[in-house]
């Protein structure tokens, strides 16, 4: 009797490459690696995956053993053979070893990585990212959490980076302004947990969207330099330390409202939340800004209605936007007495 076609030989080993890649892309990275046992034809199929994602899908036996997890990531990176479009570590507790992370970054830089998302499990100590991060010159998207960034080398540049997200990230020995200046075509910037600086100076000629959230010591200086394309701005900040600013403020004839928003002539959406409107209370608040927000369509404000300075600052912004389509005001009545 003539034997029928082998299920193993014909239907598994003879699959077209695009079908194999589609199957592997739907598996966790650990399951994809395990397909190497199917046959000798499948042994190295997973090493051409364009995305490497390490998250909770790895299983408890890896997640709960830091050293074992680190060895698994080492093994995957050492065997991978094609450019990596996306590398992601999400909600995993990995060893807080600058040397280990440094080796990963160096390996990723040699694989022409485009998207890096490094969001490990929150710990008391931040992870240290050394200068090897700046060797990932092909990055278009960078997302970092719970880490400390070292000073970038003099000639380092993320010349392809379009999106940057930072959550509870500290810059040691340099400022956010210096970091952003290394990203000449940056279009989207998100800073959450802004705690490491008292200044926020944005120089980004291609920037279109800015989101800044979190608690911070009230800034001595916040301004936008050369941001002609900036259309979406959200400043949702809970500030503390206003008293020191009030005592040290020197009048120069220009209101803080004008310093912060005066150059943002192309704004289409503006959101000011937390108690950030109180930041402008150190000045005489004008009735309206000298520049008009002709393109501003949506304005969201959080105002404490028992603080006349916040009310005046909010009214100034409203009067400066004659073409508003939507105005949303979130009302509060209590602010800390030591703010």
Instruction: Kindly list the domain boundaries of the chain, sorted by start residue.
Output: 7-49, 50-186, 196-339
Listed residue (283, 294, 290, 285) closest to 323, CA to CA: 294
Residue 120 has a pLDDT of 78
Residue 337 has a pLDDT of 47
Task: Write down the mean pLDDT value for the chain.
Answer: 83
Residue 7 has a pLDDT of 47
- Does position 122 have pLDDT exceeding 80, yes or no? no
Per-range mean pLDDT, top range of 17-21, 160-164, 212-216: 160-164
Of residues 21 and 206, the one with the higher pLDDT is: 206
Confidence band for 103, pLDDT divided at 50, 70 and 90: confident
> Counting Cβ atoms within 10 Å, is residue 268 exposed (0-12), middle (13-18) or buried (19+)?
middle
Lowest mean pLDDT, pick from 11-25, 40-54, 137-151:
11-25
Does residue 197 sit in helix, strand or coil?
coil
CA 39 to CA 51: how far, in whole Å?
Answer: 23
Lowest mean pLDDT, pick from 120-124, 210-214, 242-246:
242-246
CA 321 to CA 166: how far, in whole Å?
Answer: 30
Alpha helix positions (H), the chain: 17-25, 29-34, 60-63, 66-79, 98-110, 176-181, 242-248, 256-261, 308-319
CA 230 to CA 221: how far, in whole Å?
Answer: 19
Listed residue (89, 94, 136, 96) closest to 112, CA to CA: 136
Which tens digits make up the pLDDT trace of 156-211? 899 999 999 999 888 877 888 888 989 999 999 999 886 555 678 889 999 999 99
- Does position 49 have pLDDT exceeding 80, yes or no? yes
Residue 15 has a pLDDT of 78
Lowest mean pLDDT, pick from 136-145, 157-166, 284-293, 319-328:
284-293
CA 123: distance to chain centroid?
18
Per-range mean pLDDT, top range of 17-31, 94-108, 185-199, 235-249: 17-31
CA 273 to CA 41: how far, in whole Å?
Answer: 57
Q: Considering the entire predicted model, what is its pTM?
A: 0.86
- Does position 28 have pLDDT exceeding 50, yes or no? yes
- Does position 144 have pLDDT exceeding 50, yes or no? yes
Q: In degrees, to the nearest 5, what angle opens at C-alpha 121 toward C-alphas 119 and 124?
A: 115
Share of the chain above pLDDT 90, in %: 29
The answer to whether 276 and 239 are in contact (CB under 8 A) is yes
Q: How far is CA 273 from CA 145, 169, 210, 299, 308, in A?
A: 22, 21, 14, 11, 16
Residue 40 has a pLDDT of 79
Does residue 239 sit in helix, strand or coil?
strand
């Amino acid at each position: 009797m003539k034997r029928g076609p082998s299920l193993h030989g014909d239907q598994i080993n003879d699959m077209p490459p695009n079908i194999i890649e589609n199957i592997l892309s739907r598996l966790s990275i650990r399951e994809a690696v395990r397909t190497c046992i199917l046959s000798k034809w499948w042994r190295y199929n997973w090493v051409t995956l364009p995305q490497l994602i390490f998250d909770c899908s790895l299983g408890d036996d890896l997640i709960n053993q830091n050293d074992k997890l680190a060895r698994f990531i080492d093994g995957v990176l050492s065997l991978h053979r094609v450019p990596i479009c996306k590398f992601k570590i999400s909600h995993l507790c990995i060893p807080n070893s600058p040397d280990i992370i440094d080796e990963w970054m160096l390996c990723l830089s040699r694989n022409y990585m485009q998207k890096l998302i490094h969001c490990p499990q929150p710990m008391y100590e931040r992870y240290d990212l050394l200068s090897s991060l700046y060797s990932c010159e092909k990055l278009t998207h960078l997302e970092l959490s719970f880490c400390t960034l070292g000073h970038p080398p003099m000639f380092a540049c993320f010349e392809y980076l379009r999106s940057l997200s930072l959550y509870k990230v500290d810059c040691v020995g340099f400022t956010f302004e210096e970091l952003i200046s290394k990203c000449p075509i940056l279009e989207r910037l998100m800073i959450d947990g802004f705690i490491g600086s008292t200044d926020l100076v944005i120089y980004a000629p291609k920037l279109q969207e800015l989101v800044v959230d979190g608690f911070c010591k009230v800034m001595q200086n916040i301004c936008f330099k050369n941001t002609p394309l900036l259309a979406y701005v959200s400043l949702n900040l809970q500030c503390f330390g206003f008293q020191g600013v009030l005592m040290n403020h020197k009048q120069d004839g220009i209101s803080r409202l004008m310093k912060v928003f005066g150059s943002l002539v192309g704004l289409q959406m503006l959101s000011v939340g937390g108690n950030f409107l109180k930041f402008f209370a150190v000045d005489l608040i004008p009735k309206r800004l000298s520049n008009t927000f002709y393109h501003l369509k949506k304005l969201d404000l959080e105002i404490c209605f028992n603080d006349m300075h916040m009310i005046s600052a909010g009214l100034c912004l409203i009067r400066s936007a004659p073409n508003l389509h939507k105005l949303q005001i979130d009302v509060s009545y209590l602010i800390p007495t030591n703010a």
